Amino acid sequence: MTKEVLTVQENGRSIEYTYADLVKYHGHGYLGGVALAFKAMQRGLPLLADGQPPERNEIALDTAFPGPGGRDGFEMVTRMVSSGRYKVDFSIAGADVPKSPTGSYFFRFKYRGRTVDLALCPGIVREEFLRLARQEKLTPEEATRLEELKADMADRLLAQPAEALFDISPRVGA
């Protein structure tokens, strides 16, 4: 199996990241969110830069998904959180976008006058995961099950091509 990579540029020099690299940065707390960020960038970034690796310091993201795994994945690859190019805005996701435990699975990437909107396709996130992740208090058994479901989501996302996971809407000049 070929190892999937994300490639960006920094001052014209390529930097490659694997999902495992993103996990090393984030840790193991929210593996589904890390996988989601990896796949969202894998899908969206080539559309922004005509199939070429974009300059990491020029990529911005508005998202309705505030998950820490996603945030850390985006930060590692682009440094957008620490440089103020990452914004959580719950109002940008339409009613048809699948809901996350605390928002929606919607990502608006911006780069050099181009914008690409990605929404996670319906049916990918398990209802059991959403129910447990939203639950205020978990029994030890429920906490264990939630961790299993996070890992399961990461595995299922990583097993699919990024093109199969997201509905897209590219826009120029937005």
How deeply is 122 buried, as exposed, middle or buried, from its count of CB atoms within 10 A (0-12, 13-18, 19+)? exposed
pLDDT at position 33 is 95
90 in Cβ contact with 64 (< 8 Å) = yes
Q: Does pLDDT of 3 surpass 90?
A: no
In a domain, 31, yes or no: yes
Domain that holds residue 32: 6-172
What average pLDDT does this structure show over 135-154?
95
**121: CATH:** 3.30.1330.130
Helix segments in the chain, DSSP class H: 19-26, 31-48, 68-78, 127-134, 140-158
- pLDDT at res. 174: 46
Number of domains in the chain: 1
**Res 165: pLDDT:** 96
pLDDT(89) > 80: yes
In a domain, 1, yes or no: no
173 has pLDDT over 90: no
3-class secondary structure, 166 = strand
- How confident is the model over 2-10, as a mean pLDDT? 88
Rounded to the nearest 10 degrees, what angle do helices 31-48 and 19-26 cross at? 130
Evaluate whether residue 136 is within a structural domain: yes
pLDDT number for residue 51: 87
Per-residue pLDDT tens over the stretch 46-86: 999 988 999 999 999 999 999 999 999 999 999 999 999 99
Task: Give 12-28 pLDDT, tens digit per residue.
Answer: 999 999 999 999 999 89
Whether residue 44 contacts residue 118, with contact meaning beta carbons closer than 8 Å, is answered with yes
The answer to whether the CB of 81 falls within 8 A of the CB of 90 is: no
How far apart are the C-alpha atoms of 111 and 109, rounded to whole Å?
A: 7
Indicate the pTM of the whole model.
0.93
pLDDT class for 1, splitting at 50, 70, 90? very low
d(CA 62, CA 92): 8
